[in-house]
């Protein structure tokens, strides 16, 4: 096995020239330009990792946002910019240096700050970002559409990208992009360049959304140089490490872009329907820390080996002493003295798999935890055998506790959970008063007759979800690939007709329930703007009931859990119902045995649960659920019964970009119960 280049003890220097602020140890050199406020030089053992500056490339990590009245802003170049150069020794005796860049958008008096720190003996940058807004004359500025840092090289050094341990590919070539055909916003067909490594190994289609990842288990993403572009065959990696995740939004169900030739750290975005905070007078929030790690390997060192080197830092306990030592430089960051370990024991429903506990903004669904500037979030896996959970380094305060698990319908939610010092509450009686105790009883509306899918907050178990695309050697999961490759009219020429006990959810239930099959942004089936196939918006479920099952039964309950929904609001969360859009709130109707005098019920899915999900390569977005309760004595019968699940016929919205205008839902799981 090839070995990583040896680590050495380095001497840290923080210096200033006429044009740059510089941090340097024996292995890593980083320079921030005084004219742009951005990192414009970055070298690891004399290897240039960025290349020449050209526009917004050859830079980074640097900060930008969609946060001003006109839209985007990249701070650091205005006459209001200011810098602070820092040198110090932390509590472990390790030298460090730092550069703080601040800039103010004069028209609104909003400011962005970027904090960059380098330690002796490390080959990475510790990053914090901060936004403030103080303007009484305009209490609500706008929403914070995006806030991100970008490592954006302009060099042929980098050969591969890796979004997670199991998802990686060659970077498409310049020729492939030059010959590409745009098929959808931010999505191209590269199949014309058949010799390209990405096309040969991964897919004919490229979109940055293919390389998005769910935050739950995410640790590291980045880019890799395989040695073919270096003078001596040495390999290199550039990685963003999720060593902390407390200042992101959306909890473990949030997903975002991570790499596409740029190594991103999306602190805030509306991708996949994620909520974003409003920028209001008094807003002051700091994100981080996260860690950009750069490493070098001997010739032959693999992507997996360099990635594993970065993964070791993906722990909130790592470098806690250092962060305590610099806390006075970083407003809003809480040192260890203001943190505690949350310990609890949770009695779980029988059959719980992959149980997880989430601490988040009190009184608020963690998927929507953007209402308070100080909102934080933490999560960890629960031991399914014992119910024990431990979450380290939680900022002391009051939280909502949410628990969910695979194979279990619903959630456990407890507000007003205090994390203060060594004590957590509220607590049941226990001999160990440092451990909070909770009991989660699975929701039930009677005896379960059948279910479709697995309640796991995901639509991945259905057709074209987690199944692998075996047409390419790297076999990515099908949902990651441009949606139109999976042609619904071909797969389901008569629509979805699912019979309980016979049909297979992995084959006979699509990962997207369309209101109409879109022609817009459809490269596979061009032509009319909409394509109608039999009952595309009406999915039918049939099931048989016995006389014994119906005996003494009065109610029937259908639980529908959704893993994603696109209403006519798209990703617009807080603007209310959009003018001119009929389906900002999307009607979803269930009809039970309507041909024999049964009943229909409609659930109106609210606009704030909307997001562009399946068409942006995702099967986990805003999760929501509803129970349809029917009078069993009037609707059910011995023998064959029928449920029809319907979206409005031809349900569409207005898309200003090249995107499908069809509305849709994506199922997590369904369950039918009798009582």
| 497 and 349, same domain (yes or no) | no
Instruction: Please give the DSSP secondary-structure letter assigned to residue 349.
Output: P
138 CA to centre of own chain: 31
pLDDT of residue 11: 80
pLDDT score, position 94: 97
Residue 365 belongs to a domain with what CATH number? Answer: 2.60.40.1120
What pLDDT does 1 receive? 37
Q: Does residue 4 register a pLDDT over 50?
A: no
On the CB side of 406, how many CA atoms lie within 13 Å of its CA? 10
Three-state DSSP class for residue 327: helix
Which of 237-251, 429-443, 470-484, 616-630 has the weakest average pLDDT? Answer: 429-443
Q: Where are the beta strands (DSSP E) in 171-305?
A: 181-184, 187-189, 205-207, 212-214, 220-225, 235-241, 255-257, 263-268, 278-280, 283-297
Q: Which residue's entry shows tokens 């319907």?
A: 646
Whether 154 and 80 map to the same domain: the answer is yes
pLDDT in tens, 214-261: 999 999 999 999 999 999 999 999 999 999 999 999 999 999 999 999
Same domain, 172 and 71: yes
Residue 597: pLDDT band (50, 70, 90) is: low
Burial grade of 246 (CB within 10 A; 0-12, 13-18, 19 or more): buried
Distance, in Å, from the CA atom of 201 to the CA atom of 172, rounded to the nearest integer, reads 11
142 occurs within a structural domain: yes
pLDDT band for position 629 (cuts 50, 70, 90):
very high
**Model confidence at 5: pLDDT above 90:** no
Specify if 473 maps to a domain.
Answer: yes
The CATH code of the domain that includes 452 is 2.60.120.260
* Same domain, residue pair 451 and 435: no
Question: What's the mean pLDDT in 100-109?
Answer: 98
pLDDT at 245: 97
For residues 478-505, give the mean pLDDT: 97
pLDDT at 596 over 70: no
| Confidence category of residue 143, pLDDT binned at 50, 70, 90 | very high
Shared domain for 653 and 606, answered yes or no, is yes
Cis bond before residue 289 (omega within 30° of 0): yes
- What is the Cα–Cα distance from 338 to 333, expressed in whole angstroms? 10
Q: 533 pLDDT exceeds 90?
A: no
282-311 tens-digit pLDDT: 999 999 999 999 999 999 999 999 999 999
End-to-end CA distance of the chain: 61
Q: Which residue, of 386, 416, 439, is where some domain finishes?
A: 439
- For residues 170 and 236, membership in a common domain is answered with yes
pLDDT at residue 422 tops 70: no
Q: Which domain holds residue 392?
A: 340-439
Say yes or no to pLDDT of 374 above 80.
yes
439, 462, 497: which is the final residue of a domain? 439
Over residues 571-592, the mean pLDDT reads: 91
**Residue 186 belongs to some domain of the structure:** yes
The number of residues making up the chain comes to 675
Looking at every residue in the chain, the average pLDDT score rounds to 95
In a domain, 5, yes or no: no
Q: How far apart are CA 613 and CA 253, in angstroms?
A: 13
* 3-state secondary structure (DSSP) of residue 301: coil
Asked if residue 387 belongs to a domain, the reply is: yes
In a domain, 4, yes or no: no
For the ranges 88-92, 227-231, 366-370, 534-538, the lowest mean pLDDT is seen at: 534-538
pLDDT at 433: 54
- Which of 391-400, 421-430, 524-533 is least confident? 421-430
- CATH code assigned at 220: 2.70.98.10
Whole-angstrom distance, CA of residue 540 vs CA of residue 328: 61
381 and 254, same structural domain?
A: no
Identify the pLDDT of residue 532: 79
Does 130 fall in a domain?
A: yes
pLDDT band at 9 (very low <50, low <70, confident <90, very high): very low
Per-residue pLDDT reduced to its tens digit, 326-348:
999 999 999 999 999 999 999 99
Q: Is the pLDDT of residue 528 over 90?
A: no
User: At 490, which helix (H) or strand (E)?
Assistant: helix 488-491
Of the pLDDT bands very low, low, confident and very high (cuts 50, 70, 90), residue 3 is very low
Read off the pLDDT band of 610 (50, 70, 90). Answer: very high
- What would the mean pLDDT of 266-271 be, rounded to a whole number? 97
**Are residue 31 and residue 165 in the same domain, yes or no?**
yes
Radius of gyration of the chain (CA): 26
pLDDT of residue 73: 98
Residue 117 lies in a domain: yes
- Tens digits of residue pLDDT in 177-190: 999 999 999 999 99
410 & 526 share domain: no
Mark whether 546 and 422 lie in a shared domain.
Answer: no
Find out whether the peptide bond into 579 is cis, omega within 30 degrees of 0: no
For residue 41, which of 27, 25, 26, 23 has the smallest C-alpha distance? 23
Domain endpoint, select from 274, 308, 329: 329
Residue that wins the pLDDT comparison between 421 and 486: 486
More confident residue, 428 or 258: 258
Return the pLDDT at 643: 97
Higher pLDDT, 421 or 278: 278
Per-residue confidence band for 571, with pLDDT thresholds at 50, 70 and 90? confident
Encoded tokens for 301: 């060192």
Phi first, then psi, for residue 491 (nearest 5°) are -70, -35
- Measuring CA to CA, which residue among 511, 459, 517, 501 is closest to residue 649? 517
Are 451 and 589 found together in one domain? Answer: yes
In this predicted structure, the answer to whether residue 52 has a pLDDT above a threshold of 50 is: yes
Number of domains, the chain: 3
**For residue 10, is pLDDT > 80?**
no
Same domain, 209 and 171: yes
**380 pLDDT more than 80:** yes
């Amino acid at each position: 096995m090839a070995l990583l280049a040896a680590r050495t003890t380095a001497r840290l220097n923080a210096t200033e020239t006429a044009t740059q602020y510089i941090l340097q140890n024996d292995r890593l050199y980083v320079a921030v330009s005084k004219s742009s406020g951005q990192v414009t030089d970055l070298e690891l053992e004399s290897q240039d990792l960025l290349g020449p500056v050209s526009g917004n490339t050859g830079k980074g990590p640097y900060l930008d946002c969609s946060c001003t009245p006109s839209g985007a802003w990249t701070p650091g170049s205005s006459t209001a910019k200011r810098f602070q150069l820092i040198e110090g020794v932390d509590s472990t005796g390790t030298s460090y240096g730092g550069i703080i860049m601040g800039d103010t958008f004069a028209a609104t008096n909003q400011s962005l700050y970027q904090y960059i720190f380098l330690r002796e003996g490390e080959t990475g940058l510790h990053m914090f970002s901060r936004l403030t807004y103080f303007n009484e004359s305009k209490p609500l500025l706008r929403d914070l559409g995006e806030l991100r840092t970008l490592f954006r090289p302009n060099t042929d050094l980098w050969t591969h990208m890796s979004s997670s341990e199991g998802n990686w590919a060659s970077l498409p070539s310049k020729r492939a992009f030059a010959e590409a055909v745009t098929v959808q916003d931010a999505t191209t067909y590269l199949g014309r360049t058949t010799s390209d490594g990405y096309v040969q190994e991964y897919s004919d289609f490229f979109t940055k959304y293919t390389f998005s990842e769910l935050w739950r288990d995410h640790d590291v993403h980045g880019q890799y140089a395989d040695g073919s572009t270096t003078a001596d065959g040495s390999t290199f990696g550039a990685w963003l490490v999720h060593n902390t995740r407390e200042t992101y939004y959306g909890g473990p169900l949030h997903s975002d872009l991570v790499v596409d030739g740029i190594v991103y750290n999306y602190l805030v975005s509306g991708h996949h329907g994620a909520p974003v905070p409003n920028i209001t007078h008094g807003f002051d929030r700091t994100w981080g820390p996260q860690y950009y790690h750069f490493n070098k390997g001997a010739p032959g060192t693999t992507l997996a080996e360099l990635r594993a080197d970065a993964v070791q830092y993906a722990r909130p306990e790592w470098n806690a002493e250092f962060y305590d030592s610099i806390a006075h430089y970083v407003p809003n960051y809480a040192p260890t003295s203001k943190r505690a370990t949350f310990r609890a024991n949770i009695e779980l429903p029988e059959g719980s798999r992959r149980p997880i506990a989430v601490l988040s903004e009190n009184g608020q669904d963690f998927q929507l935890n953007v209402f308070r500037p100080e909102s934080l979030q933490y999560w960890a896996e629960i031991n399914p055998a014992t119910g024990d959970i431990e979450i380290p380094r939680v900022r002391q305060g009051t939280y909502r506790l949410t628990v969910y698990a695979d194979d279990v319908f619903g959630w456990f939610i407890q507000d007003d959970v205090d994390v203060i010092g060594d004590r957590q509450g509220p607590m049941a009686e226990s001999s160990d008063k440092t451990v909070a105790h909770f009991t989660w009883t699975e929701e039930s509306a009677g005896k379960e007759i059948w279910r479709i899918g697995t309640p796991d907050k995901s639509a991945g178990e259905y057709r074209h979800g987690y199944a692998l695309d075996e047409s390419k050697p790297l076999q990515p999961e099908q949902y990651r690939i441009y949606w139109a490759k999976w042609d619904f009219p071909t797969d389901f020429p008569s629509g979805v007709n699912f019979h309980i006990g016979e049909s297979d959810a992995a084959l006979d239930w699509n990962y997207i329930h369309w209101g109409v099959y879109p022609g817009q942004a459809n490269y596979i089936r061009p032509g009319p703007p909409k394509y109608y196939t039999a009952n595309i918006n009406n999915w039918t479920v049939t099931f048989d009931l016995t006389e014994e099952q119906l005996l003494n039964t009065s109610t029937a309950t259908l639980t529908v859990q959704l893993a994603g929904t696109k209403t006519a609001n798209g990703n617009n969360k807080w603007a209310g119902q959009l003018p001119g859009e009929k389906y900002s709130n999307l009607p979803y109707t269930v009809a039970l045995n309507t041909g024999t005098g049964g009943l229909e019920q409609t659930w109106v899915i609210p606009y704030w649960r909307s997001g562009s999900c399946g068409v942006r390569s995702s099967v986990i977005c805003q999760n929501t659920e509803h129970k349809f309760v029917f009078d069993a004595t009037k609707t059910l019968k011995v023998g064959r019964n029928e449920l029809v699940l319907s979206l409005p016929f031809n349900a569409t919205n207005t898309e200003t970009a090249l995107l499908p205008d069809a509305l849709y839902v994506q199922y997590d799981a369904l369950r039918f119960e009798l009582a």
